[in-house]
Structure 1
Amino acid sequence: MRTFIGIDFPRKLKEQIVEAQSYLKSISKKGRWKYIDNFHLTLKFLGEIEYDHVEKIKEVLTKNLESFSSFSLKIFSCGYFKGSKNALRVVYLKPDGDLDKLNNLYQIVEDSLYSIGFEKEKRDYTPHITIAQDVILDEPFDKFKQYVENYKFDLIPVESVILFLSEEIDRKRVYTPLFEIKLK
């Protein structure tokens, strides 16, 4: 089963992200748009794992995160990963706030999973919230950036870490929580 470890958002914040996504749609020729229930912040993509790994992952994360306290982030800007020709492969929102604490959380997750046989990520951690893929814009990206930077998003409460199952159901990507570890 395909899985990742991430941080989920309250519904109201997801609705605010949809508003920003709708503005991006309005200045785009085309794109693939992330579904409201799929907005999240990934800590580690695990890929395909066996079902019997779930309990091991839960045990090691529960143990290593038992004294980690909750914190908040906020969306402050946006960016993109370049694609082919004039398409933006990924358009995302950028979190800000207690990024040191987020990076510490990321490192604990990385080290915990490495201790039970998962490979460490080779790239630097770039926290981002994907809202669209394969976007071709009608207007300059700066117009969307200005919109995002002026929007008053709610805070992102980082109160738990979740192992999500990622599967395709009726041609739609669906993320289902397998377990959640509450932070202090």
Structure 2
Amino acid sequence: MHEQIEAGTVRVFIALAPPDDAKDELAQALRPAYDAYPHMRWNRIEDWHITLAFLGELPRQAVSLLQPPLAELAAAHHPLRLSLHGSGHFDERVLWSGIGGDLHGLRLLADEVRALVEEHGITLPDRPLNPHLTLARARRDDTSSVVRAAAGLSAFTGRTWQAARLHLVGSNYGRGPGPIRYRDIESWPFNSA
């Protein structure tokens, strides 16, 4: 899929996305938490992703210039075998699912993505990759819900799947105000040969 890039800016990141059946498996395990904590801000299942590099707000022209080298990078990599498992939280406000499988390969891919982005003049914060999939956020006055939801999901172990594509994603891409929504600007298959 290739989206037309218009003038202006867009918030972008580069990510991997679990396949629908892996997301459905996790959503089923989350059912008790959905019911127990409806007041948490749950991310839409179609927006679940594993961020490799958050680029922030960029001119759309800069995003266009990244597309060909990202396509080449994807074509040079084989799919990664990953899984979703366990859970935790950041600062008792953000609920996440952990990532298992080829974490070494995931870190190498993230390093290559970051290097490519920086070669194109985009500065990234220097922070280590902490592979996770963000599920929900709590209000500042209700952090105990995130802690309890993380504990309830801590034993989850999902099936292994292949990350088959590299995604360049825009947040609220082509939308007005409202909840954050993500949309592929473009995605590229990894080399499955």
Q: Which runs of 5+ in 2 are unaligned?
A: 1-9
Identity %: 21
1:78 aligns with 2:87: yes
Asked whether the 8 Å contact 2:81–2:102 carries over to 1, the reply is yes
2:120 to 98, 116, 126: 116
1:41 to 50, 55, 64: 50
How many positions carry a matched residue from both structures?
A: 177
1:125 aligns with 2:134: no
Bigger fraction of residues in strand: 1
Q: Which runs of 5+ in 1 are unaligned?
A: 83-87
Give me the TM-score of the superposition, normalised by structure 1: 0.84
1-side partners of 2:21 and 2:56: how far apart?
29
Within 5 A, what are the aligned runs for 1:5-20? 5-20=14-29
2-side partners of 1:5 and 1:138: how far apart?
29
Asked whether the 8 Å contact 1:4–1:47 carries over to 2, the reply is yes
Aligned to 1:158: 163
1-side partners of 2:177 and 2:27: how far apart?
22
Closer, same or farther in 2 for the Cα pair 1:92/1:140, shift >3 Å? closer
1-side partners of 2:146 and 2:113: how far apart?
39
Within 5 A, what are the aligned runs for 1:136-155? 136-137=143-144, 141=148, 144-145=150-151, 147-149=153-155, 151-155=156-160
